[in-house]
Amino acid sequence: MRKNIVAGNWKMNTTVPEGVQLAKEVVEKSKEVPAEVGLIVATPFTHLCPVAEVLKGTRVELSAQNCADKEKGAYTGEVSVGMLVSTGAKWTILGHSERRQYYGENDSKLVDKVQLALAAGLKVILCVGENLDEREAGKHFDVVKTQTENVLYHFTAEDMKNIVVAYEPVWAIGTGKTATAEQAQEIHACIRKVLAAKFGAQVADDTTILYGGSCKPSNAKELFAQPDIDGGLIGGAALKADDFIGIAMSF
Ligand code: PGA
């Protein structure tokens, strides 16, 4: 049975002391959330070590937001999967639309990154999602199918145990515009079908698929009630512990 997860993507927000404080608040309030719901915070690289200290022995797991596409060496400014593991991080987000849009992240680079992350023992939250032009042109199913296939078809059913998919329509990220529960559900069902075609129905059924894009306490319940929506990847609302935990209480 797949797991419900709520993951907070802090993006490039908070200083280290602010992030440590936020992590402490999330830990404190996490006691209100049913034990079976997975909780993850994805912090900036600089915050991983101190936040790992805060999360030690708690149910809240630590994630990075990206990793290098090389193992180690002369790659100034990059952070390797080995470095992430050494901080205590258990996860990394990969392929976020902001990375695809602003930093030239493409599917082939993502294959390398997912490969390295899994080999290092990290779990991966792989993001897919169409932009506004693609949705208006009616290409959203095709775009999401292609992004999913281009990366995940390089992996095995065994690898899928350590991969979560996040559907994040780019037009809904940070815009206040949420996909309707129906719009999200139909894409989630499509992603599950794409996974089933390669890995079989059982693996598809066991894979957690998160929704992301202006998810907040007021709309999470309706989204999470959909049969193929297993939780959320939360940006803006993850910066307030009350809102983040409010979302996690919405199953
Ligand atoms: P948002 O961001 O919740 O601020 O829309 C979601 C994300 O990009 O992960």
Q: For residues 240 and 245, what is the distance between their CA atoms, to the nearest angstrom? A: 9
The domain limits of the chain are 4-248
15, 125, 118: which is closest to 61 by C-alpha? 125
Residue 176 pLDDT exceeds 90: no
In this prediction, residue 242 carries a pLDDT of 98
- Do residues 22 and 238 touch, judged by C-beta distance below 8 A? no
List, for residues 47-87, the tens digit of each pLDDT value.
999 999 999 999 999 999 999 999 999 999 999 999 999 99
Residue nearest to atom 6 of ligand 1 (CA): 235
Question: For ligand 1, what atom is nearest to the CA of residue 97?
Answer: 8
Q: What is the mean pLDDT of the chain?
A: 97
Domain 4-248 sits in which CATH superfamily? Answer: Aldolase class I (3.20.20.70)
Q: To test ligand 1's pocket by mutation, which of 167, 234, 244, 247 has the most ligand atoms within 8 angstroms of CB?
A: 234
Whole-prediction pTM: 0.98
Q: What is the DSSP letter of 215?
A: -
Is 140 among the catalytic positions?
A: no
Q: For residues 182 and 228, what is the distance between their CA atoms, to the nearest angstrom? A: 11
In this prediction, residue 97 carries a pLDDT of 96
Our answer on whether the CB atom of 213 is closer than 6 Å to any ligand 1 atom is: yes
| Element of type H or E holding 179 | none
Residue nearest to atom 1 of ligand 1 (CA): 235
Residue 23 pLDDT exceeds 90: yes
Our answer on whether the CB atom of 215 is closer than 6 Å to any ligand 1 atom is: yes
Residue 27 pLDDT exceeds 90: yes
List, for residues 100-144, the tens digit of each pLDDT value.
999 999 999 999 999 999 999 999 999 999 999 999 999 999 999
How far does residue 172's CA lie from ligand 1's centre (Å)?
A: 8
Residue 174 pLDDT exceeds 90: no
Residue 178 pLDDT exceeds 90: no
Is 96 among the catalytic positions?
A: yes
Structure tokens at 89: 């991080």
